[in-house]
């Protein structure tokens, strides 16, 4: 079961998209690029984008239109695509020569531009000081998503599908849709989806499975009330059964109740183990690189509004609209949880509070 809350309060969004967190050296390159692009007129900036497509087609026209219309956005895009600085220097020189803006060439033709970027003095941030910082997962391969939703007897579920399809599209996922399945249909379609990943093993960057329906602890329910084990679905994508996803992120978004309990909230005052790795052949645990997000605590109800859709799905898309892909996925859902936890909900005229639950065996950072 899911509760349909009355929602108090409003969560604002200015619609802006903040840039993703980047290393200091790349940040310095981005800053230098913007210093140059800020000197271009609006017409020159348009010409710059046009020449860039001819000189170096690495940046797609779609990305240029979506992210490169302002000097700051274009600088950010170029820094990501042409890092290290030597590559950026080569492209900048060729494009500036065609504008022409000979007055801007010296800053990119100098020998210093070929060398490493020396960061300007910037405030020290905590993530700059972490030793052995985790790498990011390489998501340059295809991003595949499986989206299942039971709409029957779930008012607002159609809105969840629309929101999720839009979010997955913005995160560059290819989406397989499964609406109102029975148990055998779901298992058949998700098995086919998993087998498809194994067939294109080398081309996969990430997998995401979203399951939206009624549920109870450990199970999700189909349109006819039949139950499917979540553990069984998770197991289908483990390192044994889905070798295509070994050391690649497997994201599960579960929008379903986990029981009947309701949390009415409380009033608040405003005031090491040894290891022995002697094996020659590298091994992985059976379950690794998973990230699972639930809309509520174990044994508790989840919330869905008949007009706007599920509370978690709506908060996800609102946060992404405001902040884009700025954060690692765990930080992103922490922000989503912050928004959910501090909203006021009512279920049958009684106050109710929910908190998302994250489970992770990720070994690297995930940035969409």
pLDDT digits (tens, 9 = 90+) for 209-265: 999 999 999 999 999 999 999 999 999 999 999 999 999 999 999 999 988 887 676
Give the Cα separation of 132 and 134 in Å (integer): 6
- What residues act catalytically? 214, 257
In a domain, 13, yes or no: no
Reported as a single tens digit per residue, the pLDDT across 163-187 is: 999 999 999 999 999 999 999 999 9
Confidence of residue 294 (pLDDT cuts 50, 70, 90): very high
Q: Tell me whether residue 342 is in a domain.
A: yes
How much is the pLDDT for 126? 39
Let me know: does 250 contact 240? Beta carbons within 8 Å.
no
Model pLDDT, residue 13: 47
200 lies in the same domain as 331: yes
Q: Which of 3-17, 105-119, 245-259, 268-282 has the highest mean pLDDT?
A: 245-259
Helix pair 42-55, 71-81: axis angle to 10 deg? 20
Query: What range defines the domain where residue 48 resides?
Result: 24-120
Higher-pLDDT residue of 201 and 289 is 289
pLDDT at position 5 over 60: yes
Whether this prediction's pTM lies above 0.75 is answered by no
Residue 328 domain-assigned (yes or no): yes
- The pLDDT assigned to 128 comes to 41
For 251, the token pair is 């994201």
Residue 329 lies in a domain: yes
Q: How many domains does the chain have?
A: 2
What CA dihedral angle connects 72, 77, 78 and 84, to 10 degrees?
110
- How much is the pLDDT for 281? 58
Q: Do 73 and 105 belong together in one domain? A: yes
In a domain, 160, yes or no: yes
Within a domain: residue 275? Answer: no
Q: Which of 326, 333, 320, 324 is nearest to 360 (CA)?
A: 333
pLDDT score recorded for residue 83: 67
């Amino acid at each position: 079961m899911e509760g349909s809350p009355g929602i108090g309060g409003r969560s604002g969004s200015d619609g802006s998209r903040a840039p993703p967190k980047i290393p200091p050296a790349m940040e310095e390159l981005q800053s230098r690029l913007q210093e140059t692009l800020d000197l271009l007129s609006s017409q020159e900036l348009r010409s710059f984008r046009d020449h860039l497509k001819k000189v170096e087609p690495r940046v797609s026209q779609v990305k240029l239109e979506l992210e490169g219309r302002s000097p700051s956005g274009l600088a950010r895009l170029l820094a990501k695509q042409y890092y290290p600085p030597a590559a950026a220097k080569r492209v900048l020189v060729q494009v500036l020569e065609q504008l022409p803006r000979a007055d801007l060439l010296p800053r990119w033709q100098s020998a210093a531009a070929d060398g490493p970027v020396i960061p300007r003095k910037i405030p020290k941030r905590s993530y700059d000081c972490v030793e052995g910082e985790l790498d990011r997962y390489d998501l340059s391969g295809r991003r595949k998503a499986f989206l299942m939703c039971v709409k029957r007897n779930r008012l607002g579920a159609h809105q969840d599908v629309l929101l999720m399809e839009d979010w997955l599209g913005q995160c560059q996922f290819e989406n397989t849709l499964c609406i109102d399945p029975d148990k055998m249909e779901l298992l058949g379609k998700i098995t086919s989806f998993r087998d498809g990943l194994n067939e294109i093993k080398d081309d996969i960057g990430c997998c995401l499975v979203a399951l939206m329906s009624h549920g109870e602890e450990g199970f999700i329910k189909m349109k006819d009330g039949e139950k499917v084990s979540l553990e069984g679905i998770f197991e289908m994508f483990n390192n044994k059964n889905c070798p295509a996803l070994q050391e690649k992120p497997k994201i599960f978004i579960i929008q379903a109740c986990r029981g009947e309990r309701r949390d009415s909230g409380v009033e608040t005052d405003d005031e090491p183990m040894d290891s022995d790795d002697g094996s020659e052949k590298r091994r992985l645990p059976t379950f690794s690189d998973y990230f699972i997000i639930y809309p509520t605590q174990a044994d508790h109800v989840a919330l869905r509004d008949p007009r706007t859709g599920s509370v978690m799905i709506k908060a996800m898309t609102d946060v992404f609209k405001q902040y884009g892909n700025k954060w690692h996925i765990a930080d992103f859902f922490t922000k989503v949880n912050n928004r959910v936890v501090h909203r006021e909900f009512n279920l049958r005229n009684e106050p109710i509070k929910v908190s998302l639950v994250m489970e992770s065996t990720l070994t690297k950072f995930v940035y969409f």
